[in-house]
Amino acid sequence: MRLVAIGIGVLSLTVAASARQATSPKPSSALTITSLTGKDSFDAYCAPCHGRGGTGDGPVAPILRTPPGDLTRLTLARGSFPRDEVVAFVTGEGRPIVAHGTSDMPIWGLIFRGLDPSDTRVKIRLQNVVDYLESIQRPR
């Protein structure tokens, strides 16, 4: 009897969910966040590898073939924040030639375009991530 009650409960939840799904707009991907702020995007998409502080110590870092870079040292390494290089790398336009090896880092420009149909939102998200990276640079 208890099994029948559980089955009826599961069936009614499934029917209710199907009815809601039929009347609601297509759900967004679980990977899409609504916030466009640089920090929120960084925390959602970059921090798993680069860590919340951007130093390369994210929870996924130990299993990567190539350790993630310390994104807080970009200005120290180049004297000023290399905005164009960062934009090119994040969007995939600055990838090394395949003969030089592959990159473990996803090409976020392409991924953001796949997750969000709005080119404007994609450009804003990318710009805000780069601005956030500039904001976390270590002082000299």
Q: What is the pLDDT of residues 81-105, one digit of tens each?
A: 999 999 988 887 766 544 434 566 7
**What is the Cβ-side half-sphere exposure of residue 98, based on CA atoms within 13 angstroms?**
0
Residue 14 within any structural domain of the chain? no
Query: Residue 102: its pLDDT value, please?
Result: 55
- Taking only the tens place, the pLDDT of each residue in 25-44 is 444 566 788 899 999 999 99
How many domains would you assign to the chain? 1
Q: Classify residue 129: in a domain, yes or no.
A: yes
Nearest to 71 by CA among 83, 84, 55: 55
Would 140 be classed as within a structural domain?
no
Q: CB-side exposure of 19: number of CA atoms within 13 Å? A: 6
SS3 136: coil
Q: Is the pTM of this model over 0.75?
A: no
Residue 120 belongs to some domain of the structure:
yes
Asked, for residue 40, whether it belongs to a domain, the answer is yes
The domain of 54 spans 29-135
User: Is 21 a domain residue?
Assistant: no
Asked whether residue 100 is assigned to any structural domain, the reply reads yes
Whether 12 is in a domain gets the answer no
For residue 123, the surrounding DSSP H or E stretch is: helix 119-135
